[in-house]
Structure 1
Amino acid sequence: MSEKMSQSATRRTILKAGGALAATSLLAPAIIRNAWAEEEPITLLTWETYHEPDWVAEWEAANGGVKIKPVVISSLDEVFAQLQSGAVKPDVVYSEASTAGRLKKAGQIGPFDISKVPNVANILPGLNWKEPLSVDGTLMGIPLHWGTQPLQYNADQIKEPPTTWGDLWDETYKGKVTTFDDATVNLPMVALYVGAKDPFNLTEEEFTLVTDALRALRQQVRVVTRGFDDAATLYASGEALIGYCHNVAVVNSLKKKGINSKYSLPKEGTPSWIEGTFVTPKGQRDIVYKFLNDTMSLPWQARFMKFSGSNGILTGADALKAGLTEEELQNTNIPDSEDPNFKDNLVFLREPEDVERRIQIWNDFLAGTL
């Protein structure tokens, strides 16, 4: 996720200029601040751009000096490594929704007490977040932000917006197709294309269909990209016309360069992710939930969205009211939510039936040995 959220110094400058935005909502009466005086620090297992030092300092000052200790990680593997080693004993863990089951089984997170976070009312109504953040019917977290991994295309060369993942297999685009290096996301996309009933729990027959489709896709793909810049460069040079988009940030970066890049949400469904906010057994404290509630407020979310370019969790109207510009809003997936089919189109990532098998299939795809 850190790659998804890496941003320029320009955004940092914008943030500092608007740093006072959240002050009013986060300031608490002195009597409440005193109630937190003896609280131990709140330790976060978090990611770059989620909890910037000036945001943390502001919240601490407004809450009786309760300390926030962000521990920044850079991969999902590191989330589990830190937790299993015991080197970090967090109160809050930020991790992709599909890891909720694994975290719960390991005893690393507990049920989320949603009654203590009334600001969940600010979450975009079209975001079907409770199901992917629940395990066996128990809510384990709330979203901090979300995103889609749609179909990207050069709108100057492809006049009609593509509506199906099948266009990646269209021989018209042979050698002009891209995808990115990630087994856990590419296989669900291919599974949607071949009509799998559940792209995260494939039958043997469906595994065969996915493998065959990947073998055919290998002939179409120009380059398997390994980062946003890598993908943007291929589209900017004309070497790529269509592909599986790692993040809409790639499309937006091309637009800024004057390239008519667009994306669409295919009819088969669009793989999407939610960054979950999970609370550990140690973190089941009122002050922890107060902090999480504050991070779900309109001012905090708008600041986070401006700084990171994230979708956040707000509706378009609330984002504009809280300080986003129309241009910043248009650079997110939020306007897509106005489509009545939006909610049903998003296919949120879940823990698959066999991670190792999927990784091996993907590695065979990369090596051309399928």
Structure 2
Amino acid sequence: MENFTDLKIGRRGFLAAAAAGTAALAAPAFIRDARAASEITIITWETYHEDAWIAEWSKATGVKVNVVRAGSNDEIFAQTQSGAIQADVLYFESGSIPRFKEAGLIVPIDASKLPNAVNITPDLKYQERNTVDGDLYGVPYSWGTQPLMFNADVVTEGTDSWAALWDEKHAGKVNLFDDAYITFPMIALQAGVADPFNLSDEDFARCAQVLAALRPQVRTIARGFNDAEAIYAAGDAVIGYCNNVSIVFNLQGKGMNFKYTFPKEGTPTWIDNAVLTPHGDRPEVYQFLNDNLTLEWQSRFISLSLNNGVLTDEGARQGGVKDDILAKTNIIDQNQPSFWEKMVVFKAPESVDRRVQMWNDFKAGTL
């Protein structure tokens, strides 16, 4: 049995092939006088803020933007807490907001200064999910699901449940991402835990049993999106926990019959937000965030990366997203009547450290 303890992951890698051949969208127009020289520093993810988009915005506004691309929430936290990077804006998911707030790393955001926030799909309920102690701390930039993915030519039954990952027919052919934070909620759901983000000692014991039973099923753990795609394409995995549905569509583009489903136990779902640090409470920063929420900016982001962005399908089409692109996202999925009832949106967990330790024990085979 392999030891996975040395593997690392960037939570969102760039799947360039996912959008290959996509027609270029018209660039968003930033019609305003260039303001005095200023700088903004952001810590974001790959595909979220491409260099060409940033250069275009800086040319139009006179504000330089320094882009730092992170590989995990923990990396963003460490870089910010240590002071290694003096960022103005951080991009991370809703469940991590309390952790950053408690460390004094972020400040409330004033949504009234972001008129383009009206373009955000109301289904994200960000005012509710991103409010802590009465203050709003984040405005969404993108969201995504982490469903069950599988090769439909090989896996022909049981795909309505996470239990399929434990089916002995798929021994050695199950793939996971090496990220305790994103994987643990799925494990907790399969363990039958009532709240996958608030585990008791008994719940942790159940999760340990479920993880131990999964260990023989897993031969490879993906170190990134491209790595996961290569593992499935080579036939080294036929079923797994999908970190981004773009992987499925990339494999379909290679002629492989991969699909994804939302299991009945619930599907972990993340919402990434723009969050301000104390350095970022400035007019030019709000200008940048507001321009990031135009239909044009968001539609280009969706079309070139296959991320969901924050638009409704109507807003995306108005911004220029083609139907064939929409079909490769969850933007249309959310129109299903019971879609959000099946989603389990990330919240702050009871103990990140305890989850990471159990995950490391799983990888080492010592559970």
Assess same fold via TM > 0.5: yes
Answering whether residue 66 of structure 2 is matched by residue 58 of structure 1, we say: no
Answering whether residue 173 of structure 2 is matched by residue 176 of structure 1, we say: yes
The residue aligned with 1:310 is 307
Other structure's SS at 2:270 match: strand
Residue 126 of structure 1 deviates from its aligned partner by 2.5
Residue 60 of structure 1 deviates from its aligned partner by 2.9
Closer/same/farther in 2, CA of residues 2 and 180 from structure 1, 3 Å limit: closer
Alignment counterpart, residue 221 of structure 1, candidates 206, 218, 223 = 218
User: Is the 8 Å Cα contact of residues 145 and 311 (structure 1) preserved in structure 2?
Assistant: yes
Closer/same/farther in 2, CA of residues 292 and 229 from structure 1, 3 Å limit: closer
Q: Greater shift after overlay, 153-162 or 200-209?
A: 153-162
Identity percentage of aligned residues: 48
Closer/same/farther in 2, CA of residues 204 and 140 from structure 1, 3 Å limit: same
Q: 5+ residue gaps in structure 2?
A: 1-8
Q: Greater shift after overlay, 247-256 or 129-138?
A: 129-138
User: Is the 8 Å Cα contact of residues 147 and 263 (structure 2) preserved in structure 1?
Assistant: yes
Other structure's SS at 1:282 match: helix
Closer/same/farther in 2, CA of residues 166 and 255 from structure 1, 3 Å limit: same
Other structure's SS at 2:271 match: strand
1:335 and 1:127 map into 2 onto residues whose CA distance is: 14
User: Is the 8 Å Cα contact of residues 39 and 63 (structure 2) preserved in structure 1?
Assistant: yes
Closer/same/farther in 2, CA of residues 10 and 309 from structure 1, 3 Å limit: closer
Residue 191 of structure 1 deviates from its aligned partner by 0.7
Q: Which has the higher helix share?
A: 1
Alignment counterpart, residue 27 of structure 2, candidates 9, 21, 25 = 21
Residue 314 of structure 1 deviates from its aligned partner by 1.1
User: Is the 8 Å Cα contact of residues 92 and 280 (structure 1) preserved in structure 2?
Assistant: yes
Closer/same/farther in 2, CA of residues 84 and 232 from structure 1, 3 Å limit: closer
Instruction: Return the letter of the residue paired with 2:100.
Output: L
1:302 and 1:213 map into 2 onto residues whose CA distance is: 40
User: Is the 8 Å Cα contact of residues 90 and 283 (structure 1) preserved in structure 2?
Assistant: yes
Residue 59 of structure 1 deviates from its aligned partner by 2.2
1:82 and 1:171 map into 2 onto residues whose CA distance is: 42
User: Is the 8 Å Cα contact of residues 5 and 310 (structure 1) preserved in structure 2?
Assistant: no
The residue aligned with 2:97 is 100
User: Is the 8 Å Cα contact of residues 127 and 343 (structure 1) preserved in structure 2?
Assistant: no
2:59 and 2:235 map into 1 onto residues whose CA distance is: 51
Instruction: Return the letter of the residue paired with 1:45.
Output: I
What root-mean-square deviation, in Å, do the aligned CA atoms of Structure 1 and Structure 2 show?
Answer: 2.4
How many residues are paired up?
A: 359
User: 1:53-92, CA deviations, whole angstroms, 9 ceiling, x for partnerless residues?
Assistant: 33223323433x2333333334333323332333432221
1:328 and 1:232 map into 2 onto residues whose CA distance is: 19
* TM-score, L = length of structure 2: 0.89
2:90 and 2:347 map into 1 onto residues whose CA distance is: 17
Answering whether residue 344 of structure 2 is matched by residue 347 of structure 1, we say: yes
- In the TM superposition, 1:54-203 aligns within 5 A as 54-63=52-61, 65-160=62-157, 162-203=159-200
Alignment counterpart, residue 232 of structure 1, candidates 208, 229, 234 = 229
User: Is the 8 Å Cα contact of residues 41 and 68 (structure 1) preserved in structure 2?
Assistant: yes
Other structure's SS at 1:263 match: strand
Residue 351 of structure 1 deviates from its aligned partner by 2.7
Other structure's SS at 1:82 match: helix
Alignment counterpart, residue 205 of structure 2, candidates 204, 208, 211 = 208
Other structure's SS at 2:279 match: coil
1:45 and 1:242 map into 2 onto residues whose CA distance is: 32
Closer/same/farther in 2, CA of residues 80 and 129 from structure 1, 3 Å limit: same
Residue 2 of structure 1 deviates from its aligned partner by 5.4
* TM-score, L = length of structure 1: 0.88
Residue 9 of structure 1 deviates from its aligned partner by 8.0
Other structure's SS at 1:119 match: helix
Instruction: Return the letter of the residue paired with 1:59.
Output: W
Alignment counterpart, residue 257 of structure 1, candidates 246, 254, 257 = 254
User: 1:112-156, CA deviations, whole angstroms, 9 ceiling, x for partnerless residues?
Assistant: 111111222211232243344232342101111111111011122
Alignment counterpart, residue 4 of structure 1, candidates 2, 12, 15 = 12
User: Is the 8 Å Cα contact of residues 132 and 348 (structure 1) preserved in structure 2?
Assistant: no
Q: Greater shift after overlay, 53-62 or 189-198?
A: 53-62
Q: Which runs of 4+ in 1 moved over 4 A?
A: 9-15
